[in-house]
Amino acid sequence: MLTQDIIKKKRDGKGLSKDEIAFLIKNYLSGEMPDYQMAAFLMAVCWRGMSRQETVWLTGELLHSGRTLRTDSLPGKKIDKHSTGGVGDKVSLVLAPLVASMGVRIPMISGRALGHTGGTVDKLESIPGLRTQLSIAEIDKNIRDVGLTIADQTGELVPAEKKLYALRDVTSTVESIPLITASILAKKLAVGLDGLVLDVKTGSGAFMRCIEDACALAQNMVEIADSMHKPTIAVITDMSQPLGRMVGNATEVVEAVETLQGRGPEDLLAVTMELGVHMLRLAGTCSDREDARQQLARALKDGGAMRKFQEMVERQGGDVRSLERFGQRVSKNVREVCSPASGYVTRIDTYQMGLAAVALGAGRRRLGDAVDHSTGYEMLAKLGNTTERGRPLVKVFYRDEASFKEAEGLILDAYEISDEKPAARRLIHKVLRDF
């Protein structure tokens, strides 16, 4: 078997065999297949795609490229949620402890901020002392004892996926439905889940900007997961503006904690509840949608969710008392970006809003860059709100003047103010495999 011949086959639009896919992934991980051959192969996949069967084989190869978590003996189902990423998406910080507080075990391997999107792991790391780089043994112990852990990807799990992702990032081969699908599913299935809820974002701040692409990705992921006998539900949610009001790291933890205490923004709560409903459904612990909603509301109200969050923070070495006065961790340099006109907020380019967070140091341009946990912003006006010329649109927490200026430019560019009241946008666009 020659690597070039396999690349050529894909380049010419032909299907690959299980052995050929295994050959590539094994040799790539071992270093026998150089980066440049894999890069050419990945671009050929962006071009020609992969069949469902090929994607299943690829997912399997990535999944078994390292160790996997084995906790089948534990009582309670293991369910996870994955989001395709966006701006202000702090759902995991609320949803994971909420559902875990109801006895579902959640071994969540999360991502870091990259490009215009934020990352749950970076947000969590704004809590002093909290560690996200956990060994498989630690993850296993946390799942047993606490029922919940949110950890950074480790080299022990799906090492081939990790190596491949780093290469995709620098070769513009990220945007391919089969590659995204295999990458996400391999990562998620490596922790031995019983079911998975996918939050596929769509809109100007999402990876899949238009709803058709988001549906295609969701459909593909659900089908591949089906083929791998892993019950999966995909929810397509809106990302045509940042979720909630806060964007950043410490800023988002503030908002997540408020939400766990029942004082969160409506949109964040709505998405959290919808995803939670499907997680309970996969766990088999609710009779129907209404029952699930009531259980979730109760766990929020009686403080169970907040206590589970504190328990997780403590277990991962974080300073729980810091959560009470967490606003202090947000930068004291505050300035407002004001509206250049009066009227309705009719459009917010959320990709630009994400880049504004990167400009403030809250995100990263490249894998390996450092992140400033104290910066970010609060949105004072969202889609459909009215504003007036000179009235604040966004409150910015910044580090230095230059970064504020850059962010201000991006934010002003992102906001569209006009006279006509925009139609209300749905928050939940579609559910694949709904009740």
Reading the block at residue 381, the tokens are 């006006």
User: Are residues 295 and 360 in contact, defined by beta-carbon separation less than 8 angstroms?
Assistant: no
What is the distance between the alpha carbons of residues 409 and 411, in angstroms, rounded to a whole number? Answer: 6
When the beta carbons of 334 and 367 are compared against its own copies, the nearer one is 367
Residue of 59, 65, 120, 339 marked catalytic: 120
Report the nearest approach of its own copies to the CB of residue 300 (Å).
42
When the beta carbons of 11 and 18 are compared against its own copies, the nearer one is 11
Check if 120 is active-site.
yes
When the beta carbons of 41 and 344 are compared against its own copies, the nearer one is 41
* Residue showing tokens 């504004």: 356
Check if 395 is active-site.
no
Residue of 3, 55, 65, 83 marked catalytic: 83
Burial class (CB in 10 A: 0-12, 13-18, 19+), 335: middle
Exposure class string for 68-104: b at 16+ Cβ within 10 A, else e: ebeeeeeebbbbbbbbbbbbbbbbbbbbbbbbbbbeb
Check if 9 is active-site.
no
Report the nearest approach of its own copies to the CB of residue 31 (Å).
13
Residue of 188, 201, 245, 429 marked catalytic: 188
Check if 188 is active-site.
yes
What is the distance between the alpha carbons of residues 11 and 40, in angstroms, rounded to a whole number? Answer: 9
User: Are residues 58 and 25 in contact, defined by beta-carbon separation less than 8 angstroms?
Assistant: yes
Binding site for its own copies (CB under 8 A): 3-5, 7-8, 11, 34-40, 42-44, 46-47, 167, 169-173
Check if 187 is active-site.
yes
Report the nearest approach of its own copies to the CB of residue 168 (Å).
9
Residue of 82, 116, 201, 278 marked catalytic: 82
When the beta carbons of 3 and 259 are compared against its own copies, the nearer one is 3
Check if 81 is active-site.
yes
* Residue showing tokens 């939670």: 276
Report the nearest approach of its own copies to the CB of residue 175 (Å).
8
What is the distance between the alpha carbons of residues 362 and 88, in angstroms, rounded to a whole number? Answer: 11
When the beta carbons of 46 and 104 are compared against its own copies, the nearer one is 46
Report the nearest approach of its own copies to the CB of residue 169 (Å).
8
Kind and range of the H or E run holding 202: strand 195-202
Residues forming the active site: 80-83, 120, 168, 183, 187-188
